[in-house]
Amino acid sequence: MGKTFRILILLLFCAPVSLWATHIRAGEITLRRVDCTSLTFIVTINMYTDTGSPIKFGDGDLKFGDGSPTIKTPERPNTFPPGLNLPNEVGFVTYSIAHTFPGPGRYIISYVEANRNEGVLNIANSVNTTFYIETEIIIDPFLGCSNTPVLLVPPIDKACTGVAFFHNPGAYDPDGDSLSYELVVPKKNKGSNVIGYLPPNHKSFYDKIGLNYGTANEAGNNEPSFQINSVTGTITWDAPGAPGEYNIAFKILEWRKINGTWVQQGYVTRDMQIIVEDCNNKRPELEVPSDLCVVAGDIITFDVFGTDPDFDSVKIEAFSQVFSINPNPATFIPTPIKFQHTAPGIKAKQTFTWQTACNHVKDQPYQITFKITDKGRPSLVQFKTVNIRVVGPPPVWNTATVNLAARSALLSWNDYTCKANATSMQVWRRVDASTYTPNCVTGMPEFLGFSLIGTVPINTTTFTDTNGGSGLAPGAKYCYRLVAVFPQPGGGESLVSQEVCLPPILADLPLITNVSVEVTDRTQGQVLVRWTRPFEADPGQFPPPYSYEVIRAEGFSGDINLTPAFPGRISDTTFVETQLNTKDLIYNYRVRAFDSNNVLVGTSATASTVRLEAASKFLQIDLSWNAAVPWSNQSQSFPRHLIYRGPEAATEVQLVLIDSVNVTQNSFNYSDAGQWNQQPLVETQEYCYRVRTRGTYGNPKINAPLQNYSQIICAQPSDDVPPCKPLFTITPQDCRDFIESSSCGDNLYSNTLSWQRPLDLACRDDIRSYKIFKANRTNEQFTQIAMVTDTFYVDNNLASFAGCYKIVAVDRAGNESEASDVFCFDNCPYYELPNVFTPNGDQCNDLFSAYSDRIGEIIGEGGVGPCGQQLSNLRKRCARFVRKVDLKIVNRWGKVVYTYTSGSERSIYIDWDGRDNDGKELASGIYFYTAEVTFDRVDPATQQQTLKGWVHLAR
């Protein structure tokens, strides 16, 4: 059998290159759910093809990722939809099929077809590499309806050496989910990247044509770059080097906010070619407006201009869901889109118009992708994106009244303008008036100091505020604002309403004005408590003078360890409590007033001490503070809180004022990076801080500002906080797909690691690089192999896939994160022996050999050998990742007749000719074998496998 198959492969490799020339330029898979209660989706493969190729789309494998049978795609001719405006050499093929998934879950839908073009510069052996794309969909009834993003811009544009290249998919999500973009390595099958991939801006592509890599960008002042804007999706290659074909791939990830957290909902992968030519054309330029924010109901109109440095004619196109949204789609005129003349002082112009409506409100902006194409040779393009955010109009108040007896407020407002589209109305409250006019900031900004006190259905137009049943705090001036909320998945909130304020609540109870930490200590701490008498109490009902009980508890509020702060009553309105643990504990106080007849007048609202926290960073200390009090500590009348600092172990009198912070802009946060006296913080020195808050009841009868100190807290600016633990985003290799798509002779492999940047912005900003560690086997030590700043790493030129990896994030201070979970790549080993051979010299199955497609075997017509061997079947069954074979053959009586051990010049294929260990021919008959096979596996415990079987020797 050996010679037959060796010649077969040789002839196959000698076939003309045109046999392998592919038709595929780019492609992606999208899914559209039939309806939100169904598990049926319309799965669509969109392919952009080379019309110069005689090969048609089809005969590829479409898999749904749910264990259902693979679909063999039918052959489809090229089409030329007029709306796509395809150039002459580009065709379009689409194939759709309905598929019902078995239930909720995460599914990867994939398509693979042979083969990529020969000579792709940044992929090794591209002609023998399959084209593969995949899309992930998550079906979860708790997350709502889900469709994949839609890509509107075809990947059809060419590039010129030395001129920046751009591409943008013009994607949007029909569910209103947020999209992000990331570059990935093209794949040849599920979990298997193409071999030898290099990014298009790799230095070798510039060296080969003699370009200085250090000045190879378009401006000639820097190295070339290749990147994708994670927000807009625009790919920029500034600028291409060697002419030829390149392949790239990128993911469009969809995100949905669930309970305030962004959750990934799946992705679409686009794999595309970029053809670079050596040309003299200069790219055109676009002029578009800045991003826009409008209130639903407003009309948007603006002009888009185009110019070309060569004064070529240009065409300006626009891509967005707003052109198909219903009702009220946008327009881009004149139509149809045509090339327009340009000249000195003459620009091409298109006009965008959109009458917005309530149904257009959503949390994320609409992206309008503008594309300009010139008529040079080849045509060059540029993309620019304009974000248009449509926000809900602000609710409008009707009345707000106070019930003094019940200490409650009755609020009412007008029917909401967009109530047919919104779902609920939020009611927000603060103490003291504030001035604020929103500028495309939806919802309630944190810095305004409002608290959410209730949410009602959108058709409800009233709300009663009882302060959770405890009544509004006496003496306080309460102010309210409204926010309308729109449903998911589009989501969104309205602009905040104007403010409505009530007159101050009757001060017929004591009003606490100060709860100030005077001494910080674990045992000798002191807190100053001060209050006003109930100056608006009825003296006829509660005759003065008044006496008071001061009651303390632990925490910002509540009754933990509730106890009298002083045994008995006092007549003064000031009290200093001593022997407290003000260093570690938060205290809250309330005051009970009694009249001259010892009748209880009432109890004040509770008020807590100010709690200060400190977080160390690299040469910086971040402060934050909080207090639960019945007055406002975010007053526009007294906006600045004061920051005090001193050396290690400093007392209250040793601290000095170093700065102030406007809490109406920055909330209760301050970062000390050494700005005071322009003296940087010293990493080995400890600094101690204290904050003085300033607040008001908003009541002219109560003196303001109300000033209270926090406890002292100390910190050292040496950043010892490690960054967040990285999380791999690797899809394990599917061995079945690998075996079906790869050649038996492959001996060069690569592993691609990918991971996500942390969703937490502070943690993300702190990370500077990632260390890559590898162990060749699960029982070996890890060693560092690379340090990168990106979120993927390709381990190239490997003899096998086997290897384990982990990554560590490094922050700007050099702190290292906890290592990621270990991810191990493994080989897909295979070894199979036939059960018949005929050593009779006819060159057909003469040897007992492991299955292979070794060079030197004879090929027959249609890939079938003279012995009936199907080449495709042999490739699926050939030996892979085998290190050693020990074989023993016995006859029917159990006598050992032949032994074989691979190694040195003895191959793993055995190639037994039917002779015994003494070289004598054995008689025809059934023989039994035991093969101890050692595979190349990442886990040594799984490397050994025993194969037992029989073989019929027929002469």
Q: Considering the domain boundaries, does residue 307 fall inside one?
A: yes
Judge if 109 and 188 occupy the same domain: yes
- Residue 765: the pLDDT is 75
Judge if 757 and 894 occupy the same domain: no
Structure tokens at 205: 């592509």
3-state secondary structure 503-528: CCCCCCCCEEEEEEEEECCCCCEEEE
For 562-581, the pLDDT digits (tens) are 999 999 999 999 999 999 99
CB 49, CB 27: distance < 8 Å: no
By CB atoms closer than 10 A (0-12, 13-18, 19+), residue 513 is buried
Residues 6+ apart with CB under 8 A from 137: 31, 41, 106, 107, 109, 146, 148, 266
Q: Considering the domain boundaries, does residue 359 fall inside one?
A: yes
Label residue 119 left, alpha or beta by phi (over 0 means left) and psi (-120 to 50 means alpha): left
Judge if 522 and 479 occupy the same domain: no
Strand, coil or helix: what is 691? strand
Judge if 85 and 184 occupy the same domain: yes
Give the separation between CA 508 and CA 605, rounded to whole angstroms: 12
Residue 344 backbone dihedrals phi, psi, to 5 degrees? -55, 120
Label residue 458 left, alpha or beta by phi (over 0 means left) and psi (-120 to 50 means alpha): alpha
Q: Considering the domain boundaries, does residue 384 fall inside one?
A: yes
Q: Considering the domain boundaries, does residue 581 fall inside one?
A: yes
Q: Which residues of the chain have pLDDT under 50?
A: 1-21, 855-862
- Other Cβ atoms within 10 Å of 577 Cβ, number: 18
Judge if 401 and 424 occupy the same domain: yes
Q: Considering the domain boundaries, does residue 175 fall inside one?
A: yes
Judge if 659 and 562 occupy the same domain: no
Give the separation between CA 604 and CA 616, rounded to whole angstroms: 38
CB 505, CB 402: distance < 8 Å: yes
- Other Cβ atoms within 10 Å of 802 Cβ, number: 23
Any long-range contacts for 674-682 (C-beta under 8 Å, 24+ apart)? 674/619, 674/620, 676/645, 680/619, 681/619, 681/620, 681/621, 681/717, 682/717
Give how many domains the chain has, as a whole number.
7
Q: What does DSSP say about strands 836-837 and 944-953: parallel, antiparallel, or unpaired?
A: parallel
Judge if 132 and 176 occupy the same domain: yes
| Among candidate residues 416, 415, 417, 412, the one with its CA nearest the CA of residue 398 | 412
CB 124, CB 796: distance < 8 Å: no
Residues in the chain: 955
Cα–Cα distance list, 610 to 91, 393, 631, 637 (Å): 69, 37, 13, 20
Label residue 475 left, alpha or beta by phi (over 0 means left) and psi (-120 to 50 means alpha): left
| Among candidate residues 669, 257, 351, 631, the one with its CA nearest the CA of residue 475 | 631
CB 420, CB 358: distance < 8 Å: yes
Residues 6+ apart with CB under 8 A from 404: 505, 506
Omega of the bond leading into 567 within 30 degrees of 0 (cis): no
| Among candidate residues 349, 335, 238, the one with its CA nearest the CA of residue 286 | 349
Give the separation between CA 56 and CA 22, rounded to whole angstroms: 9
| Among candidate residues 48, 182, 196, the one with its CA nearest the CA of residue 120 | 196
Cα–Cα distance list, 624 to 252, 666, 710, 752 (Å): 37, 10, 11, 42
Cα–Cα distance list, 86 to 82, 377, 696 (Å): 8, 15, 67
Indicate the helix (H) or strand (E) that contains 246: strand 244-258
Out of 665, 680, 715, a domain closes at 715
Judge if 190 and 259 occupy the same domain: yes
Give the separation between CA 791 and CA 527, rounded to whole angstroms: 51
Q: Considering the domain boundaries, does residue 143 fall inside one?
A: yes
| Among candidate residues 381, 383, 379, the one with its CA nearest the CA of residue 367 | 383
Structure tokens at 539: 């003296």
Residues 6+ apart with CB under 8 A from 293: 388, 389, 391, 439, 440
Out of 715, 746, 766, a domain closes at 715
Angle at the Cα of 687 from the Cα atoms of 576 and 638, rounded to 5 degrees: 55
- Residue 606: the pLDDT is 97
Range(s) of the domain holding residue 367: 285-391
Judge if 456 and 494 occupy the same domain: yes
Omega of the bond leading into 705 within 30 degrees of 0 (cis): yes
Indicate the helix (H) or strand (E) that contains 9: helix 2-13
Cα–Cα distance list, 338 to 303, 319, 737 (Å): 16, 15, 45
- Residue 2: the pLDDT is 40
Give the separation between CA 209 and CA 221, rounded to whole angstroms: 18
Out of 357, 391, 425, a domain closes at 391
Q: Considering the domain boundaries, does residue 418 fall inside one?
A: yes
Residues 6+ apart with CB under 8 A from 358: 296, 297, 392, 417, 418, 420, 421
For 98-156, the pLDDT digits (tens) are 999 999 898 999 999 987 888 899 999 888 889 999 999 999 887 888 899 999 999 98
Helices first, then strands: H and E counts in the chain: 6, 62
| Among candidate residues 858, 952, 865, 857, the one with its CA nearest the CA of residue 914 | 952
Q: Which residue has the tokens 């600045």?
A: 640
- Residue 12: the pLDDT is 32
Judge if 190 and 339 occupy the same domain: no
Structure tokens at 119: 């000579």
- Residue 590: the pLDDT is 98
Q: Considering the domain boundaries, does residue 551 fall inside one?
A: yes
The terminus-to-terminus CA distance of the chain in angstroms comes to 14
Judge if 739 and 691 occupy the same domain: no
Strand ranges for 82-154 from DSSP E: 90-100, 105-113, 131-139, 150-151
Give the separation between CA 465 and CA 486, rounded to whole angstroms: 23
Indicate the helix (H) or strand (E) that contains 739: helix 735-741
CB 281, CB 378: distance < 8 Å: yes
Give the separation between CA 819 and CA 817, rounded to whole angstroms: 6
CATH number at residue 344: 2.60.40.10
| Among candidate residues 838, 742, 619, the one with its CA nearest the CA of residue 189 | 742
- Residue 561: the pLDDT is 95
Give the separation between CA 566 and CA 573, rounded to whole angstroms: 13
CB 658, CB 676: distance < 8 Å: yes
CB 287, CB 351: distance < 8 Å: no
Strand ranges for 757-802 from DSSP E: 767-775, 783-788, 792-798
Judge if 780 and 869 occupy the same domain: no
